[in-house]
């Protein structure tokens, strides 16, 4: 008697009971149910919600693994124990020590994120008597990738509960939420515990404990140092490969690019949103570069160093690329219409770079830009639809006359 | 002997729960967001509104037969404004720092929808005693929510209650702070007050299903 059979019997036993959704969820997550629909015509498609989610998780896994290595690498590099990596396959980076330290730090984040988040989902499914939805599978993987490495686990727990309950369940669960739950969780952390979400002490593992000691280490993110008007000491290839301090999984633009291509190839992520966001960010970067070369803003301005950043470098630093590929494309919270997706994406790119440049208190603008555009997505869709209706009405009028 | 008849006591008790001005009628939310970051201003605000609404309702009720209906809003505004100025002057005289803290929000009691709402809906059609009870009841209902929100926001946002460090000292790391607890900075910001009010509404409506609107 296999596990599938056992789960099926459990499901039958608990049918109609309060706990039923919890067992059903386990069963359908692991296996295809025995039940088939008997009446009506159906469309058969291979990619149900679960498979969609699993493909996004597959696209995220390289970022997670890279994040684990990078956590160890940044720690030992800041301590001065290892040499800086040269090239993407450099053995200084892909070493066992880096991996074990990183795994020790990152895996608890993953466990907390999934454990707490799914716990809340199961609880709500049992209370409301509906099936457990798969929506949290991707959120649970995104959350550990977008927080600083040293975030205390209890803060993450509080934030995940808040994000899942207020960001999702109060609206009716997966598919009904207005805001991206992973970003809601990050925004909660950012406003609730700002000392743990910004500054130069949280991005490198062990930096907080070393405060005040003779061998104190620190690691400012590139955006952070630019916002303070300093320059940064990383070369372009380091930034592209991701050998820089930052939130756990968002540093490697190379892997994000591959993940994005994978999502586009499998038709899970919308290429319109990704492309238009990149274009929006590049366009805004170009405008700011233009302002600098027209000498409208002097070197003393506090916006100078971020405005002076080469327009295409905005894609390499901070979480912009990660946000565009994995979070702006969230099918629930993004615009649904094709024209709407272009507007939505361009606005995300433009707003991210604008917030970066003009508000040094919020060095990462992409989080706020995506959340803001999530709110506006239904409005954009509404006007795109109305525009289409008007166009068609006009066409009929012309014909009938 | 009962202090109040059954009908009269409902005037006080209804707004406290099932007909609460904030959570059911969703009036006066603006001030509930603005001044509830700490418990003390919340309580002072609650007392001020009890005073203004209780007395105001009585005055309007006494004048209800001689106010021309065309200019009744202006008359009501003048009465609220007079009462609010009295509250403001008393606070300035006896609790200056608190008055600074509450800043314009005492003055803005004038625009609190609950007050004009009760004048219009109740005091213009009822006797002074019942209007007084209705005013005090509604202001209490408003105050209770203010105090609940203020309690959670001050406790979780600043770790204090009435300024006392009940959770320990966050700078010297005593009490809860010694084991890594930190204040939730989001609680101090107004958006969190909206979410706390939302949670109260949620809890209240899931306890009493009759309150859920049909749509």
- Average pLDDT of the residues in A253-278: 91
**How far is B208 from B215, CA to CA, in rounded Å?**
17
Length of chain A: 401
**Is residue A275 pLDDT above 90, yes or no?**
yes
Helix (H, G, I), strand (E, B) or coil at A2: coil
Q: Does the beta-carbon distance from B185 to A192 stay under 8 Å?
A: yes
**Is residue A140 pLDDT above 80, yes or no?**
yes
Q: What is the ipTM of this complex?
A: 0.84
Residues B156/B187, Cβ–Cβ less than 8 Å: yes
Mean pLDDT of chain A: 83
Interface check for A172 against chain B (CB to CB < 8 A): the answer is no
Q: Does the beta-carbon distance from A194 to B182 stay under 8 Å?
A: no
Q: Chain A contacts of B189, Cβ < 8 Å? A: 191
Interface check for B166 against chain A (CB to CB < 8 A): the answer is no
* pLDDT for A214: 60
The structure tokens listed for A314 are 């905005």
Confidence of residue A324 (pLDDT cuts 50, 70, 90): very high
User: How far is the alpha carbon of A99 from chain B, nearest alpha carbon, in Å?
Assistant: 27
Residues B18/B140, Cβ–Cβ less than 8 Å: no
Residues B143/B190, Cβ–Cβ less than 8 Å: no
Query: What does each C-alpha distance from A75 to A97, A239, A250, B182 come to in angstroms?
Result: 11, 17, 17, 25
Confidence of residue A188 (pLDDT cuts 50, 70, 90): very high
Residues A315/A278, Cβ–Cβ less than 8 Å: yes
Half-sphere exposure of A338 (CA within 13 A, CB side): 2
A201: region left, alpha or beta (phi > 0 left; psi from -120 to 50 alpha): alpha
Interface check for B206 against chain A (CB to CB < 8 A): the answer is no
High-pLDDT (> 70) share of chain A, %:
87
* pLDDT for A340: 92
Domain extents in chain A: 49-387
Cα end-to-end span (Å), chain B = 44
Query: What does each C-alpha distance from A145 to A21, A56, B139, B155 come to in angstroms?
Result: 29, 13, 48, 31
- Kindly give the interhelix angle for B128-157 and B190-207, rounded to the nearest 10 degrees: 120
Interface check for A123 against chain B (CB to CB < 8 A): the answer is no
Length of chain B: 215
- Average pLDDT of the residues in A311-319: 82
Residue reference for tokens 């509080």: A158
Confidence of residue A45 (pLDDT cuts 50, 70, 90): low
Residues B141/B20, Cβ–Cβ less than 8 Å: yes
**How far is B16 from B130, CA to CA, in rounded Å?**
16
pLDDT in tens, A190-204: 999 888 887 777 777
Confidence of residue A261 (pLDDT cuts 50, 70, 90): very high
Residues A377/A344, Cβ–Cβ less than 8 Å: yes
Please enumerate, as own/partner, the contacts of A162-165 that have beta carbons within 8 Å and a separation of 24 or more.
A162/A188, A163/A139, A163/A188, A164/A116, A164/A117, A164/A120, A164/A121, A164/A136, A164/A139, A165/A120, A165/A124
The structure tokens listed for A85 are 């990596």
User: How far is the alpha carbon of B196 from chain A, nearest alpha carbon, in Å?
Assistant: 10
Nearest to B186 among A154, A188, A195 (CB): A188
Beta bridge partners of B72: none
* pLDDT for A102: 87
Interface check for A178 against chain B (CB to CB < 8 A): the answer is no
Q: Chain A contacts of B187, Cβ < 8 Å? A: 192
- Average pLDDT of the residues in A206-216: 64
Interface check for B16 against chain A (CB to CB < 8 A): the answer is no
* pLDDT for A40: 66
* pLDDT for B82: 93
Q: What is the DSSP string of B123-171?
A: GGGS-HHHHHHHHHHHHHHHHHHHHHHHHHHHHHHTS-BTTB-TT--TT
* pLDDT for B7: 78
**How far is A272 from A277, CA to CA, in rounded Å?**
8
**How far is A325 from A262, CA to CA, in rounded Å?**
10
Beta bridge partners of B161: B164
Residues B52/B28, Cβ–Cβ less than 8 Å: no
Mean pLDDT of chain B: 85
**CA-CA-CA-CA torsion for A64, A68, A69, A70, nearest 10 degrees?**
90
- Which of A127, A152, A172, A191 is the best residue to mutate to test the B interface, defined by the most B CB atoms within 10 Å of its own CB? A191
pLDDT in tens, A80-128: 778 777 777 888 788 888 888 888 889 999 999 999 999 998 888 888 7
Q: What is the DSSP string of B14-55?
A: GGGTTT-TTTTS--SHHHHHHSTTSHHHHHHHHHHHHHHHHH
The structure tokens listed for B4 are 């109040």
B164: phi then psi, degrees, rounded to nearest 5: -80, 140
Residue whose C-alpha is closest to residue B142's, from B34, B45, B11, B57:
B45
Q: Please identify every stretch of chain B with a pLDDT value under 50, giving residue numbers as ranges.
A: 1
Task: Name the residue of chain B whose CA is nearest to A187's CA.
Answer: B186
> How many residue contacts between A and B have a Cβ separation below 8 Å?
23
The structure tokens listed for A368 are 């706020």
* pLDDT for A217: 61
Interface check for A170 against chain B (CB to CB < 8 A): the answer is yes
Beta bridge partners of B20: none
**How far is A180 from A197, CA to CA, in rounded Å?**
19
Q: Does the beta-carbon distance from A194 to B185 stay under 8 Å?
A: yes
**Is residue A389 pLDDT above 90, yes or no?**
yes
The structure tokens listed for A34 are 């025995």
Q: Does the beta-carbon distance from A193 to B185 stay under 8 Å?
A: yes
**Is residue A346 pLDDT above 90, yes or no?**
yes
**How far is A285 from A273, CA to CA, in rounded Å?**
18
- For residues A216 and A147, the model is more confident at A147
**Is residue A313 pLDDT above 90, yes or no?**
no
What's the CA angle centered on A109, arms A104 and A112, to 5 degrees? 125
**How far is A309 from A229, CA to CA, in rounded Å?**
11
Interface check for A387 against chain B (CB to CB < 8 A): the answer is no
Q: Chain B contacts of A194, Cβ < 8 Å? A: 185
Query: What does each C-alpha distance from A92 to A67, A69, A88, A244 come to in angstroms?
Result: 15, 10, 10, 14
B211 class by beta-carbon count within 10 Å (0-12 exposed, 13-18 middle, 19+ buried): middle
């Amino acid at each position: 008697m296999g596990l599938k059979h056992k789960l099926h019997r459990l499901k039958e036993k608990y049918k109609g009971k309060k706990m039923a959704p919890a067992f059903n969820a386990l069963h359908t997550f692991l296996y295809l149910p025995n039940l088939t629909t008997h009446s009506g015509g159906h469309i058969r498609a291979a990619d149900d919600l679960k498979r969609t989610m699993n493909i996004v998780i597959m696209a995220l896994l390289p970022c997670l693994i890279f994040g684990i290595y990078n956590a160890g690498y940044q720690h030992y590099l800041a301590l001065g124990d290892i040499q800086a990596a040269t090239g993407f396959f450099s053995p200084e980076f892909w070493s066992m020590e880096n991996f074990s330290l990183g795994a020790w730090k990152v895996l608890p984040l993953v466990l907390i994120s999934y454990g707490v988040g799914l716990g809340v989902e199961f609880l709500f499914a049992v209370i409301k008597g509906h099936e457990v939805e798969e929506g949290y599978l991707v959120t649970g993987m995104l959350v550990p990738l977008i927080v600083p490495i040293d975030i205390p686990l209890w803060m993450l727990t509080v934030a995940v509960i808040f994000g899942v309950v207020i960001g999702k369940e109060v609206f009716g669960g997966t598919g009904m939420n207005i805001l991206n739950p992973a970003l809601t969780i990050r925004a909660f952390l950012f406003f609730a515990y700002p000392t743990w979400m910004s500054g130069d002490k949280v991005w490198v593992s062990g930096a907080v404990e070393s405060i005040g000691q003779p061998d104190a280490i620190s690691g400012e993110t590139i955006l952070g140092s630019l916002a303070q008007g300093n320059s940064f000491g990383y070369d372009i290839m380091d930034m592209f490969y991701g050998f820089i301090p930052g939130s756990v999984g968002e540093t490697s633009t190379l892997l994000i690019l591959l993940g994005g291509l994978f999502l586009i190839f499998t038709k899970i992520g919308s290429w319109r949103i990704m492309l238009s966001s990149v274009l929006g960010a590049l366009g805004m970067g170009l405008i700011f570069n233009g302002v600098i070369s027209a000498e409208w803003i002097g070197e003393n301005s506090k916006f100078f160093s971020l405005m002076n950043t080469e327009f295409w470098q905005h894609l390499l630093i901070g979480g912009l690329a990660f946000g565009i590929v994995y979070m702006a494309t969230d099918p629930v919270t993004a615009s649904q219409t094709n024209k709407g997706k272009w507007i939505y994406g361009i606005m995300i790119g433009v707003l991210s770079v604008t917030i970066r440049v003009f508000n040094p208190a919020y060095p990462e603008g992409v989080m706020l830009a995506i959340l803001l555009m999530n709110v506006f997505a239904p409005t954009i869709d509404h006007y795109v639809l109305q525009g289409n209706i008007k166009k068609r009405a006009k066409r009929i009028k012309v014909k009938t006359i | 002997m009962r202090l109040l008849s059954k009908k009269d006591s409902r005037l006080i008790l209804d707004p406290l729960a099932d007909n609460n001005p904030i959570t059911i009628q969703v009036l006066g939310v603006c001030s509930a967001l603005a001044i509830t970051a700490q418990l003390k201003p919340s309580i002072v605000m609650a007392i001020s509104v009890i005073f203004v609404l209780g007395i105001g309702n009585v005055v309007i009720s006494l004048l209800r037969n001689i106010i021309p209906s065309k200019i009744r809003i202006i008359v009501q505004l003048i009465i609220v404004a007079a009462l609010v100025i009295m509250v403001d002057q008393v606070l300035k005289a006896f609790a200056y720092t608190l008055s600074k803290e509450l800043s314009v929000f005492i003055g803005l009691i004038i625009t609190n929808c609950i007050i004009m709402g009760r004048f219009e809906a109740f005091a213009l059609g009822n006797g002074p005693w019942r209007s007084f009870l209705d005013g005090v009841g509604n202001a209490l209902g408003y105050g209770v929510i203010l105090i609940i929100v203020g309690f959670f926001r001050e406790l979780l946002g600043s770790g204090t209650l009435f300024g006392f460090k009940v959770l320990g000292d966050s700078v010297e790391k005593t009490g809860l702070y010694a084991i890594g607890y930190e204040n939730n900075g989001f609680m101090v910001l107004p958006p969190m007050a909206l979410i706390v009010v939302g949670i109260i509404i949620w809890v209240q409506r899931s306890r009493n299903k009759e309150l859920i609107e049909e749509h």
